[in-house]
Amino acid sequence: MVPLLLTVEQASGLLQVRPSWLRRKAAARAVPCRYVGKHLRFSRADLDAIAAMSAQGPRGSR
């Protein structure tokens, strides 16, 4: 069973990014996240939104 809220390490693994990148983006409020007390956490909806934000279309020839 997947937890309701994921740690930075869990979320970065699913998104295939470095934990430091995810922490930096969260600190800048550039990606959706939430804090439980002082602990940074991500919901599945947060991960879906982050993935949608970074989706790129196919590149054409130059």
Q: With 0.75 as the threshold, say if the pTM is over it.
A: yes
**pLDDT > 90 in the chain, percent:** 79
Write out the CATH class of domain 5-53.
mainly alpha
List, for residues 40-59, the tens digit of each pLDDT value: 999 999 999 999 998 776 66
Going from N- to C-terminal start, the domains of the chain cover 5-53
List, for residues 2-33, the tens digit of each pLDDT value: 679 999 999 999 999 999 999 999 999 999 99
Nearest to 32 by CA among 53, 7, 12: 53
